[in-house]
Structure 1
Amino acid sequence: MSEDYRSIARERMKGHCRVCPACNGRACVGEVPGMGGLGTGSTFQNNYEALAQVTLNMTALHDVKVPDTGVTILGMNLKVPALAAPIGGVSFNMTAAVSEDDYIEAVLGGCEAAGTVGCSGDGVPPFIIDAAEKGLKSHPGIPFVKPWEGAELFEKIDRMMACKPLALGMDVDAAGLVSLREMGRPVAPMTVHELTRVIEHVHRQDCAFIVKGIMTPRDAEKAVAAGADAIVVSNHGGRILDHCPGTADVLPRIAAALRGRVPIIVDGGVRSGVDVLKMLALGADAVFIGRPVCVAAIGGGLDGVRIYFEGIRTQLAQAMLLTGVGTVGDINPELLFQG
């Protein structure tokens, strides 16, 4: 992304994010609300460090000339296996200089322009879901809802389904946001039976369902048993539970347990096309990218997001070229250096 966009974002995000050269969670420890990690910030930092410690086997002796970065996930044809993660609450997490409406328009529109897909988030202030609804009526996307207790859950699901989304997701790990209960809008963990009921409701409307917030093989199995069409290996960007492992550390075990039964998306510390390649080699089918997309959207609007994802695509193609893989489907653990 252009340094001009980063400079603009740095000015607009003062008090929320420093737009550090390395988005590793060290400068924003405990800044929640904001863009930091909860408590000691160790989970955010573990995400970044776990992925940074993965290294690649380089080779230029092969017959790959022009790598194909395209992929199909849940029927979506993407030019790059990287999507914008669901993030909402611009005014209290990111900046007062950009409205929720403008932020969602930048994310969904920028992703569409770059040949990928953006997600929308959910939250207590009604403007979050209002902006999601407005954006999804103008651009393809994937809305995520939280595991609300009571009637609110299905009311929000049906409201999002009316937008004809590409899929619908739930960040089940948002159950850890105890502040929502204190605000009179409780969220809670879900049993497999409860999750099955939700997924069946969405499936009856001919829509795929994504479960986000999986960090163990056991929970991955539960999500599949409930009928999930895809899972997201995620610890909510280190914003809900301190002292969790990085997603790159738990991903291989989860991939081994599922054995390709459903697509696996992963987030946490992905900052470049090389990081995308690493996550795919570790067992993912695609990645979500969060904080860097926020910076792109706030600093550059729709064009900032488009340029960011076009950069990710270029970086991924270069990384594929120098690891000898011609298609995303060819990416495998053999690309990883085993010291």
Structure 2
Amino acid sequence: MDIISIKTAAKEKFQGACRLCPVCNGIVCAGEVPGMGGLGTGAAFRHNVEALADCRLNLRTIHSVKNPDMSCRIFGLELTLPIIAAAIGGIAMNMKGALTEEEYDTAIVSGCRKAGTIGMTGDGPNPAVFSTGMAAIGKEQGWGIPIIKPRETDKIVELAKQAAAAGCPAFGIDIDAAALVNMTNAGQPVGPKTIHELEYIKNRTTIPFIVKGIMTPDDAEACWQAGVDAIVVSNHGGRALDYTPGTAEVLPYIAEAVKGKMTVLVDGGIRSGADVLKMLALGADAVLLGRPLAIAAVGGGADGVDFMINKYRAELSAAMTLTGTAQTNDVPVEILW
């Protein structure tokens, strides 16, 4: 298996839902929601990629770092590198049925475990989206993190308890899906949450609680006040609100507000191991990968996901070596120009 065969197979199965552009920057697929593109003009998707591209690394080779430590401890889990698969649901709608929901979730969850990390599964207007993800996690003895839409609070608690019973190490809500019309049209309304609602969820669940979709320091502080265990700095891959800044632009300010108080994760436009290192230098504890692992899953199944994560692993190791970075849990901002 190689990257060319994965992309060739994925391009055929996507049937135009994703063009497998040489640079995945959201330009060609702008406005294709449903699909793999960014909402509206696609500016938020582009900003994610551009913000990371504007971060430059200092090349340093006079040092003693020869075997960088990429291991990462998150939610009590020992991961071999600070990369987690982001939750993506609605495969039939967004990927033109390139895989079934079951095939996709299995590829992500099992592929991540094979690579020494963990994957997230999604939720959607069809209850089968969540249950299919939970089934894939069950096959791996609870090795997965389900992400729930920002539903009514009692429903979130109910689904979180299912996750805990299945042995999941954590659960989350993607609060950046607060305006999804397809959820409301399906009779499953979603919306923003108050600090009190987040506290309600936290106080009635037993495993770590993640809130994904944080783009401002004050929202990050609100999550901390509510007792949330982790946040994901994310604009939903540019698919929630047009014209938002890139996640790499806002991450340093959010990390300054809550780093050390809670786990800080980030996604958006991460296309290489070097990009992973940039995000760690900007203040993240680990990153989430969405579209790159979707391509890997469609083009190669679980083995494709394993391959792609190991590709990022090799790139991250090289970037750490060439910046003099000894370990991923202590990446100095000084590696950035």
Give 2:251's aligned residue.
251
1:171 maps to which of 174, 177, 196: 174
Paired residues of 2:17 and 2:36 also in contact (CA < 8 A): yes
Give 1:150 shift. 6.3
1:169–1:212: 8 Å Cα contact kept in structure 2? yes
Residue 160 of structure 1 aligns with which residue? 163
Give the stretch that moved more between structures: 323-332 or 285-294.
323-332
One-letter amino acid of the counterpart of residue 127, structure 1: A
Q: 2:210 corresponds to which letter in structure 1? A: I
Note if contact 2:152-2:189 (Cα within 8 Å) is conserved in structure 1.
yes
CA RMSD of aligned residues (A): 1.1
Long gaps (5+) in structure 1: none
Corresponding position of 1:78: 79
How big is the shift at 1:259?
3.6
SS of residue matched to 1:18 = coil
Q: Is the 8 A contact 2:48 2:247 kept in 1?
A: yes
Determine if contact 2:84/2:118 at 8 Å carries over to the other structure. Answer: yes
Secondary structure of 1:24's match? Answer: coil
TM-score between the two structures when normalised by the length of structure 2: 0.97
Identity among equivalent positions (%) equals: 49
Contact kept? 1:60, 1:324, Cα under 8 Å:
yes
User: Could you tell me how far apart the structure 1 residues matched to 2:290 and 2:123 are?
Assistant: 14
Unaligned runs of 5+ in 2: none
Is the 8 Å Cα contact of residues 171 and 211 (structure 1) preserved in structure 2?
Answer: yes
Offset, 1:265? 0.3
Alignment pair present for 1:264 and 2:267: no
User: 1:179: how far off?
Assistant: 2.9
Deviation of the 1:172 alpha carbon: 1.0
* Cα distance in 2, alignment partners of residues 151 and 208 from structure 1: 17
Q: Which residue of 1 aligns with 2:283?
A: 283
- Are the equivalent residues in 2 in contact too, given 1:230–1:262 (CA < 8 A)? yes
Which structure 1 residue ranges, 4+ long, deviate > 2 Å from structure 2?
A: 149-162
| Aligned counterpart, 2:117 | 116
- Give TM-score scaled by structure 1 length: 0.96
* Partner AA of 1:63 in structure 2: S
Structure 2 partner of 1:239: 239
Which secondary structure state, in structure 2, belongs to the residue aligned with residue 169 of structure 1?
strand
1:100 aligned onto 2:101: yes
Match of 2:147 among 144, 148, 166: 144
- CA distance in 1: counterparts of 2:175 and 2:75, whole angstroms: 20
Q: Please say if residues 31 and 38 of structure 2, whose CA atoms lie closer than 8 Å, have aligned partners that are also in contact.
A: yes
CA distance in 1 between counterparts of 2:165 and 2:130 reads 13
Note if 1:42 corresponds to 2:40. Answer: no
Indicate the SS of the match to 1:265.
strand
Match of 2:24 in 1: 23
Q: Which moved more, 1:129-138 or 1:281-290?
A: 129-138
Q: Write the deviation string for residues 194-221 of structure 1: whole angstroms up to 9, x where unpaired.
A: 110001111xx3x111111100000000
In the aligned structure 1, how far is the partner of 2:259 from the partner of 2:79?
A: 23
Between the aligned partners of 2:232 and 2:286, the Cα distance in structure 1 is 9
Give the CA deviation at 1:151. 4.7
Deviates more, 1:251-260 or 1:172-181: 172-181
Return closer, same or farther for 1:321/1:155 CA change in 2, 3 Å cut-off.
same
How far, CA to CA, are the matches of 2:116 and 2:91 in structure 1?
A: 24
